Structure 1
């Protein structure tokens, strides 16, 4: 089997440079396959290649290569201080000098021309090397177009404009590089969250060792104020942990013995001893980084369209430029110098830079923003699909509700007391594993003190249980278990129905002669559920659907209180799958949100499967299209809103890139297009597209 290695890159400036670098690496004789992730600046190589060979393949763009386990230097050098940008400013200086000399000596004087020549050489050396090499190999990208345009400008004596084109193109490239780095920062910041070393117990003493040398089962010491280096379980101590890096929530959670902690989170106050449960490469933060990087590599439908279009766009522009340059002089006797100049301007304005960058910078920025806010989006395709959603289906338990039933009503009958009812019920239910049984035993611990012993426990599948207390047989369970009981009056049945209508599950306790009482149990609705559903409707989700196995009365009571438009009750998992299929037939784009473990078929069948509480849940991270890392429903409207903003910005970018170029190209008809206008139009389109995309960095929660 061929060896596969992954590397991190620095200096990957543009999509064309990425394609060129990928091609160069592929040409290394010992390399069998190459997969370049431009958004995440990662390179996967199948076969053999040294770092030196890879850096040589990327020397044309100054690309630096690091092993995946290494942390590339996190440089925050200001734009104007970067060494590679110095030639740009020197070029500008000589343009200013040349312009000054132009006014003093004229444009044809040798000192004026010399200044512009120096500006062209200083600012365009890297461009020319690559452009000429591309020309010799008949490879046509934007550097090739620019090289032809600048050489042409020099040949027809347009020294000043040639120099300005060089400067503005170099500035545009540098700004694009800077902007992509800005978009990638959300991922690079995730990489530095977890410490590179941890205090691990060795021979009864804690010593600092690299995380790569830590194994599962090691005991790790986490001091107050330190970040946790590895995933694990607390075995000693207690403290508040800030998990915002994983879940997006800044409110610290109190952790004590037996609780799970994650690498990259911050220990606020107490000292903890933690047993390591995952290797460094398997921690939750490591998985998030890998998944987000993979997501940034996956092309969205709009990006695939742009890439296909750009493949034919560049040759078309070259053909148009050639026709503009030669057709008027040949067929209409126009001046060659004028129309060759116009043809060169068409080459410049037709540069596809803005079009190519229009989608990836928006996708990378949006996915990075989401990751920073505790939402894992597994690719541009899912980001775009979320923007088209018409229906949001909710699995009720654990999503719209807390998933932990609580006793809401204790109603003793036949002269019995609340304490007797809850004590007897808890004595029987302590043998059961049902969530309703757990709710009753919790209520007993809070409200009663008398210890009751039950014997001869027997479960009645789907209905309840029986047991003997003080020699008397008692039954506990749903009302259907007591349909033939002599004490079940019409009035009592009405009370039970009313409690069910209010969203409660009702449990009765009785012996053969009397009904001791009934207990109302409800899964508590999340405080934010109603607001979340309202926000989803407000941002354009047409239908909200609740899927639950609860009875109709309980399900409808919960659904109505939250504002759900379509309530489906008494559903088995296979029924939920059927509902999702029907919704997809009617509305096309349907999302389902659940816990990522249960109802997997329905989550998979939906257009987008969204998992709640993905932090630490491998199933959610691996199977969901989108994972809300914290158990926080508030992130759902934010995610849908972010996706719609992203799609809107992508459409704006494509429209702007086309629009500005079209306007500039139309100026060739009256002969008004100049190299100045062409480069300003191209650079302007690129900058507008980048700045428009970077607005997604500021996208926040809906209020």
Structure 2
């Protein structure tokens, strides 16, 4: 997933001319240019600048470009790596790449796109509304692309006309649009005009009803009902007009047709009642749906919009959008951290629950990473900014969650297809009932017309269409608040059906920080053994190799001069030291070298049975010794495995490259009921396939990097520690933001609850529709009861889905 960066224009004083030496850390993070105003006269464009290694480079480029004939203004921003240029003629821009290339840099022109903006839409109460808005805006020549997402209440649109024009066009379709500003929630401020119309319509309906029983003339009563219809039905009728114009058949069209039909046959009370109930139901639905949408919008407001930036001995308050990478911000006790960064001064406890879902604050010291949106609880912190506002972890979470809302689950896609077929069929059936039966079956034309109107109301599949997306948005919002990113409804559904979970051992079930527990030197001294091991393992990134190197350094045994280093996959490493080739690895390595290890087998077996991983060091002719390494099991892993069994996961499996003894001990400590040991990287994939062949739906849990093939092979990939690595957030289907498994059982429980709620909603909607259809022909159904069955069912479905927001860990 790639995140677009925008140009930050920062007002700073020019620095000294650049030199060949690298600039200081303070200079490194300054941008030496004047801000170019948005209304600057001339042709404007942007370039990406490659090759800048410090902010002094910006002066060099700016001076050279400014001297180019025809350039009126130029601004280079080191932090974003971009250059903004204003020229008198567009042809001048063609000269710039060659000019900058002579300085040792390269340019790439940023492709100019239309104005892509995001709007928040008020008034949508089912996905048909979103389709109506899309179809209407697509007919506008100034609109290049438009996508309306009912679940999030957002519209993304690329257009050449003004924001006011777009808002006006959306208003024509009967909805309210509001531009979402960057990094703000864009929550639409609710107007009360709709509610007032519904209230007034209800009052008129009541007056008319009372008047009909108190001797008021029928004409006057019908006028009062007509006024109630106009007041309550204005918005649906307006939306219906644009829906028909856009060739959409939504609930507004069906309801408007039903009301007009009722008025045509003189059923003014029925028509007014239908309008009022429909409008009231829509308002209640909107209020309920907004609560689910706000579960995501609340994330957007986690990070403060401004920060205190350190400038010498002063603190300057600046908008977060204007803060560059490398600047130092100060966060006082009790304040939220505004940007991702690294602590350079101070100590404190930070509440990371908004990002990771961890309930216990984490101590932060010099060099530790902190995240935007988290809360500094105690001491003051000086933080060097490491990411621009649009690249912070919370921004990526919001981006991923909003993308997840737009991804349709298989069930939702099926329901939408069903509704597209169901609605026109029932609509045609309603017209048929109005027109044909009176020709062949005794009965008045008015009776059959009324039955057709009832069918029109029943044709609205609102409850059915809304049954899945609201449940998915609620579940994804709940998960996000608890530090779990579910990247779409499809993955939510898969998680709810998982029957087996496979864990990578190192760093997932265990701490991933093994330490040397024992050194056995057999063919040399302990010092020489550790020096050779240090040399062999120095360039390896494997946790066990790091443990050996760290132990040797702690004992002051330095690495020797080595050459011809080679990695022996799944077995160990080799290198030439002092003209002799040495090896460090597992038992398989020395068995492959045909070296007899019988004299050490008993010691090795004993250590392995105690849960140690063994590193044997030697040559093809001689074993120098054995280093035993052990990793500790995470306490949270034990609890997580226990809770997974409790929620009904039948197979909890551990995958490891360690020996049988270590695997057996860790399995016993964690409670997994099955393990695969001594696996090469490719064997983990085979283990996943074996579980799938046995009939299990498998989730694989790893760190998102080393376990990528297994994560991809599994039915569901789950990465942990997403807050610390962008790769984990990008590769997995579900991301546990904290570096522990505590939230995994909650995710499974939540996913299963979501599937239950979706099934309940679908069956309830279908049963209500079927019942309403059956009751039409025995004349047991009235128009207003049909409306209650439709809007009432939709409201019940929404409220049932909202229960997912309250499921706790």
Whole-Å separation in 1 of the counterparts to 2:573 and 2:439 = 95
Q: Which residue of 1 aligns with 2:67?
A: none
Report the alpha carbon displacement of residue 276 of structure 1 after superposing the two structures with TM.
Answer: 1.0
Whole-Å separation in 2 of the counterparts to 1:50 and 1:460 = 62
Whole-Å separation in 2 of the counterparts to 1:568 and 1:586 = 15
Aligned pair in 2 of structure 1 residues 393, 49: CA closer, same or farther (>3 Å)?
farther
Structure 1 residues 541-556: aligned runs within 5 Å:
541-556=649-664
Whether contact under 8 Å (1:4, 1:44) holds in the other structure is: no
- 1:583 to 2:685 alignment: no
Whether contact under 8 Å (1:543, 1:565) holds in the other structure is: yes
Q: 2:751 aligns with which of 643, 647, 660?
A: 643
Report the alpha carbon displacement of residue 357 of structure 1 after superposing the two structures with TM.
Answer: 1.0
Structure 1 residues 456-475: aligned runs within 5 Å:
none
Q: 2:210 aligns with which of 100, 121, 134?
A: 100
Report the alpha carbon displacement of residue 17 of structure 1 after superposing the two structures with TM.
Answer: 2.0
Aligned pair in 2 of structure 1 residues 594, 437: CA closer, same or farther (>3 Å)?
closer
- 1:13 to 2:121 alignment: no
Report the alpha carbon displacement of residue 122 of structure 1 after superposing the two structures with TM.
Answer: 1.6
Whether contact under 8 Å (2:174, 2:239) holds in the other structure is: no
Whether contact under 8 Å (2:352, 2:374) holds in the other structure is: yes
Aligned pair in 2 of structure 1 residues 114, 493: CA closer, same or farther (>3 Å)?
same
Q: 1:82 aligns with which of 174, 192, 216?
A: 192
Report the alpha carbon displacement of residue 553 of structure 1 after superposing the two structures with TM.
Answer: 1.9
Q: Which residue of 1 aligns with 2:30?
A: none
Deviations 1:323-380 (A, max 9, x none): 3334442222112222221221121122111111111111111111111111111111
Whole-Å separation in 2 of the counterparts to 1:132 and 1:444 = 79
Q: For 1:403, what is the secondary structure of its paired residue?
A: coil
Report the alpha carbon displacement of residue 659 of structure 1 after superposing the two structures with TM.
Answer: 0.6
Whole-Å separation in 2 of the counterparts to 1:61 and 1:606 = 46
Q: 1:127 aligns with which of 226, 236, 240?
A: 236
Q: 1:49 aligns with which of 161, 164, 175?
A: 161
Aligned pair in 2 of structure 1 residues 26, 47: CA closer, same or farther (>3 Å)?
same
Whether contact under 8 Å (1:548, 1:570) holds in the other structure is: yes
Whole-Å separation in 1 of the counterparts to 2:659 and 2:701 = 21
Q: For 1:165, what is the secondary structure of its paired residue?
A: helix
- The normalised TM-score by structure 1 is 0.88
> Which segment is superposed worse, 389-398 or 283-292?
389-398
- 1:663 to 2:775 alignment: no
Whether contact under 8 Å (2:346, 2:380) holds in the other structure is: yes
Whole-Å separation in 1 of the counterparts to 2:588 and 2:139 = 74
Aligned pair in 2 of structure 1 residues 629, 281: CA closer, same or farther (>3 Å)?
same
Report the alpha carbon displacement of residue 441 of structure 1 after superposing the two structures with TM.
Answer: 7.7
Aligned pair in 2 of structure 1 residues 72, 544: CA closer, same or farther (>3 Å)?
closer
Q: Which residue of 1 aligns with 2:114?
A: 3
Q: Which residue of 1 aligns with 2:69?
A: none
- 1:539 to 2:650 alignment: no
Q: For 2:147, what is the secondary structure of its paired residue?
A: strand
- The normalised TM-score by structure 2 is 0.77
Report the alpha carbon displacement of residue 610 of structure 1 after superposing the two structures with TM.
Answer: 0.8
Aligned pair in 2 of structure 1 residues 451, 179: CA closer, same or farther (>3 Å)?
same
Residue ranges of structure 2 left out of the alignment (5+ in a row): 1-110
- 1:340 to 2:452 alignment: no
Q: 1:238 aligns with which of 347, 352, 360?
A: 347
Whole-Å separation in 2 of the counterparts to 1:38 and 1:618 = 28
Q: For 1:274, what is the secondary structure of its paired residue?
A: strand
Report the alpha carbon displacement of residue 180 of structure 1 after superposing the two structures with TM.
Answer: 1.8
Q: For 1:9, what is the secondary structure of its paired residue?
A: strand
Q: 2:178 aligns with which of 42, 45, 65?
A: 65
Higher relative CO (CA 8 A, sep ≥ 6), structure 1 or 2? 1
Whole-Å separation in 1 of the counterparts to 2:223 and 2:512 = 77
Aligned pair in 2 of structure 1 residues 137, 294: CA closer, same or farther (>3 Å)?
closer
Whole-Å separation in 1 of the counterparts to 2:189 and 2:242 = 32
Whether contact under 8 Å (1:463, 1:480) holds in the other structure is: no
Whole-Å separation in 2 of the counterparts to 1:303 and 1:49 = 34
Q: 2:306 aligns with which of 197, 216, 227?
A: 197
Q: Which residue of 1 aligns with 2:384?
A: 275
Whether contact under 8 Å (2:637, 2:740) holds in the other structure is: no
> Which segment is superposed worse, 674-683 or 15-24?
15-24
Report the alpha carbon displacement of residue 556 of structure 1 after superposing the two structures with TM.
Answer: 2.5
Q: For 2:213, what is the secondary structure of its paired residue?
A: helix
Whole-Å separation in 2 of the counterparts to 1:302 and 1:509 = 56
Aligned pair in 2 of structure 1 residues 12, 381: CA closer, same or farther (>3 Å)?
farther
Q: For 1:404, what is the secondary structure of its paired residue?
A: coil
Residue ranges of structure 1 left out of the alignment (5+ in a row): 415-419, 469-473
Structure 1 residues 236-635: aligned runs within 5 Å:
236-407=345-516, 410=518, 432-433=537-538, 435-436=543-544, 439=547, 493-494=601-602, 496-506=604-614, 520-587=628-695, 589-635=697-743
> Which segment is superposed worse, 614-623 or 495-504?
495-504
- 1:146 to 2:255 alignment: yes
Report the alpha carbon displacement of residue 558 of structure 1 after superposing the two structures with TM.
Answer: 1.6
Aligned pair in 2 of structure 1 residues 588, 30: CA closer, same or farther (>3 Å)?
farther
Whole-Å separation in 1 of the counterparts to 2:734 and 2:590 = 45
Tell me how many residue pairs correspond in the alignment: 680
> Which segment is superposed worse, 643-652 or 45-54?
45-54
> Which segment is superposed worse, 424-433 or 673-682?
424-433
